[in-house]
Amino acid sequence: MANVSLTSAATHKCWTFNPISRAAFPNSFAFRFSQPRRATIIMSTSSKTTVLVTGAGGRTGQIVYKKLKERVDQYTARGLVRTPESKESIGGEDDVYVGDVRDADSIVPAIQGIDALIILTSAVPKIKPGFDFSQGGRPEFYFEEGTFPEQVDWIGQKNQIDAAIAAGVKQIVLVGSMGGTNLNHPLNSLGNGNILVWKRKAEQYLADSGIPYTIIRAGGLQDKDGGIRELLVGKDDELLETETKTIARADVAETCIQALSFEEAKFKAFDLASKPEGSGTPTKDFKALFSQATSRF
């Protein structure tokens, strides 16, 4: 009886049951039957989902990381940050990996063994030195050499997607930005970076990859409390024509995590904003929210 099933094994009177140390199989419950023929069966009883959030030192990324850590019964959290300083800034725990998304090899350890990936890295423009805020007006921006959106938002996100696919990751959530349908959007001229163009290219790459994905194109991000506004799903930048085109980073973070729980979020791309606090009903039903999104891209 070379290929005995668990059912027949369990009903076979001669078989004995010996627990094996849990330490040897973290997250697993392993057991061994012996006699009349020795067979080893290892069953994972861990229903926890291991999730890596990249850009975990960023303003939205660190909220996602914190929320995942708080939901310890459901998730095993990991973070990826660019520098040891960022790692320290979010607590410095062993589940925070240091890597640069432009360097494909450097992110492999963080991605190995995860179930889901939440991408929250982004090129970040800097204000040109010498700008005097007290004089008013608009500052000029630039990207440092090697940190242009082409390198971070295109190559860096492609590297993450490729590494996740190679590691057998089951779902990728990618946070992008509204505005991508308009080549002349002012964000594209920021530091001559064409940031929305490169973000969109990475989004397309993900949508074409075949892996279950959720692309969340956020409106203007605000550092406000989450969970107290009605969230709005849109497409093709239509929300930009309305009065409701901003969203709290905390709400984006929550939406990223909720996307891991609902089939309705998979193979979808949508814009995300919120009604102002006090108007509308705060969103609690994320299944219904994701059901409103109908576009694959």
Q: Binding to ligand NAP (CB under 6 A): which residues in 92-151? A: 100-102, 120-122, 124
Report the residue number, 55 or 234, with the smaller CB distance to ligand NAP. Answer: 55
* Catalytic one of 177, 189, 291, 295: 177
**Three-class DSSP category at 118:** strand
Which residue do the tokens 């956020």 mark? 218
Tell me if 86 contacts ligand NAP by CB under 6 A.
Answer: yes
**Three-class DSSP category at 14:** coil
Residue 186: asked if its preceding bond is cis (omega within 30°), the reply is no
- 160, 213 in Cβ contact below 8 A? no
Which residue do the tokens 């940031």 mark? 195
Question: Which residue of 220, 242, 285, 296 would you call a contact of ligand NAP, by CB under 6 A?
Answer: 220
Which residue do the tokens 């929320």 mark? 67
- 171, 118 in Cβ contact below 8 A? no
Give the nearest distance from C-beta 160 to ligand NAP in angstroms.
9
| In the complex, residue closest to ligand NAP by CB | 58
Question: Which residue of 67, 87, 185, 249 would you call a contact of ligand NAP, by CB under 6 A?
Answer: 249
Tell me if 190 contacts ligand NAP by CB under 6 A.
Answer: no
Tell me if 167 contacts ligand NAP by CB under 6 A.
Answer: no
Rounded Cα gap, residues 254 and 234, in angstroms: 17
177 is an active site residue: yes
- 121, 58 in Cβ contact below 8 A? yes
Tell me if 248 contacts ligand NAP by CB under 6 A.
Answer: no
Which residue do the tokens 């990618």 mark? 174
Tell me if 221 contacts ligand NAP by CB under 6 A.
Answer: yes
Extract the tokens encoding 254.
């929550």
Tell me if 57 contacts ligand NAP by CB under 6 A.
Answer: yes
Number of residues that bind ligand NAP (CB under 6 A): 25
CA distance between the termini of the chain: 51
Tell me if 58 contacts ligand NAP by CB under 6 A.
Answer: yes
Rounded Cα gap, residues 55 and 64, in angstroms: 10
Give the nearest distance from C-beta 76 to ligand NAP in angstroms.
21
Active site residues: 177
Q: Which residues bind ligand NAP (CB under 6 A)?
A: 55, 57-61, 81-83, 86, 100-102, 120-122, 124, 152, 156, 175, 177, 218, 220-221, 249
